[in-house]
Chain A
């Protein structure tokens, strides 16, 4: 027990409070004095015209947009894939392994790979679009809306398998007798999906939505490596801005305050999510 508790105390429990303490100071890593400023770092974040207001909310907007675009796709597409893989057919373990494979590669590999594939001039994607008589000069990584398509698309490619595997486990937990009963009642495929599959997946759905929102709010590597925040920091997500603010310009007090504001946002969204699901259950 003890060894874990030491780690837990030093790197999890203490930092939660230490972070709050930092956020209440003008904590510049490079300066000797770290004056107490109370809630000033938080106030600044909500005061238009302060040095942090504009870039912080722009980065929050970037993270928000990314979450908004990617979560629906990452909830729906993996469900479709899971439904396909849930049928009995030879080789389904093989396909499951294939679809999951990109997930075991890190975001760094995903980033450099997709940057190459989406290169405007020499990338495969534009080349094959050209072969299909579609525009072949799309600036995937440095113009809107393409930069969003790039970030969302590469993320879907990367993490689809993860959500699909979770759905698959949920699907296999649904009692087959329910399907048989629905069939006897003359329900077609679609109605069986609507009235047996979806209700059976409710807890899994809640889990997938919650986890995907959290993961999307943590987006960093794709933007860091593929779009580099372009155009003009519009795809620079909150985590990146916060980490730069704290660990590149060393305004750690302000950065810590930002991370708590972002965490609060996520907490509110998660609670709302749970409440919504509970409400629908009644």
Chain B
């Protein structure tokens, strides 16, 4: 992985004598932490393939003795159900994807205008947008509930897709990136008679794949996991997304942990997949947000 050991003078000289003991201690600590983080997730997965009896049996079986998918068939059964988990899964998929597209389109355009175009009031506008980043989100709950209600969006996916896309983070994040791009590219295109829109679509966006990917992944994860807002704006079983759905599932199957864990697995797999495939973008996005602070 690291090449440092082969260098003549190891950087900052971390290879000191007597390191073996420390190294063993190190890995022991790392592995203990790994167990703490991974075991609960494996337990959730394992339980979801157990019978309800085995799920509440002690001492625990880490590997199901009687492997069964009955919990999954319970939550996936179609027809009239108070807990249509498959429907919630589709709702979450639609909501998170639509939300992500909306964020990418609107935020990239706004960020480009704020970074590159001169128009009266640009500075004040930018300051206002950034200023709202400091307002805690719970302040918006009451007014946005009434606004969403006015549009007739309560209990529909639009309520969880649209309002969140107004947040200033994406604009702020992309503007930083656009500002760092060299002007020369655009100037050459302007001289050739390209319009601003053409420049944006043909030059800027193709060069911004990494930040756009980061923003896309973060938006998807945030929307998929959002809990409080959907708990209050979605009511009927068929219109829920997974997070409020899991809460309903927990109440409907209080003693049937195998079913509840199966719901948890269904809600976890897409985000874990996204994370594993795009971990570079997720972690970069998070650490960059810190460096701005």
Give me the interface of A with B, judged by CB distance under 8 Å.
1-5, 7-8, 10-16, 18-19, 22, 29, 81, 84, 87-93, 95-102, 104-109, 111-117, 119, 121-122, 124, 127, 157, 161-162, 165-170, 173, 176, 179-180, 183, 203-204, 206-208, 210-211, 214, 217-218, 220-221, 224-225, 239, 242-243, 246-247, 252, 255-256, 259-260, 262-263, 266, 270
B: contact size bracket:
35 or more
Binds A, one of B73-81, B162-170, B182-190: B162-170
A211 to B290 Cα, complex, angstroms: 9
Chain A residues near B162 (CB, 8 Å)?
Answer: 7, 11
* Contact, CB under 8 Å: A127 / B60: yes
Give 4 closest A-B pairs by Cβ, nearest first: A106-B225, A207-B293, A169-B287, A166-B290
How far does the alpha carbon of A169 sit from the alpha carbon of B110 in the complex, in Å? 28
Chain B residues lying within 8 Å of A247, measured Cβ to Cβ, are: 141-142, 145, 232
Interface residue B29 (Cβ < 8 Å from any Cβ of A):
yes
The B interface is mostly helix, strand or loop, or mixed, namely helix
Cα–Cα distance between A49 and B41 once the two chains are bound (Å) = 46
Chain B positions within 8 Å of A169 at CB level: 287-288, 290-291
- The answer to whether residues A12 and B140 also contact, given A5-B110, A127-B58, A169-B288 and a CB cut-off of 8 A, is yes
- A119 CB to closest chain B CB, in angstroms? 8
Q: Determine which of B26, B247, B257 lies in contact with A116 in the assembled complex, contact meaning CB atoms within 8 Å.
A: B257
Question: What are some 12 contacts across the A-B interface (CB < 8 A)?
Answer: A1-B109, A12-B166, A15-B143, A16-B135, A100-B282, A104-B272, A106-B271, A113-B261, A127-B60, A169-B287, A252-B145, A263-B136
Residues B58 and A165 in contact, CB atoms below 8 Å apart: no
Interface SS of A by simple majority: helix
Chain B residues near A208: list those with CB within 8 A. 290
Complex contact A166–B286 (CB within 8 A): yes
Contacts of A10 in B (CB 8 A): 147, 166
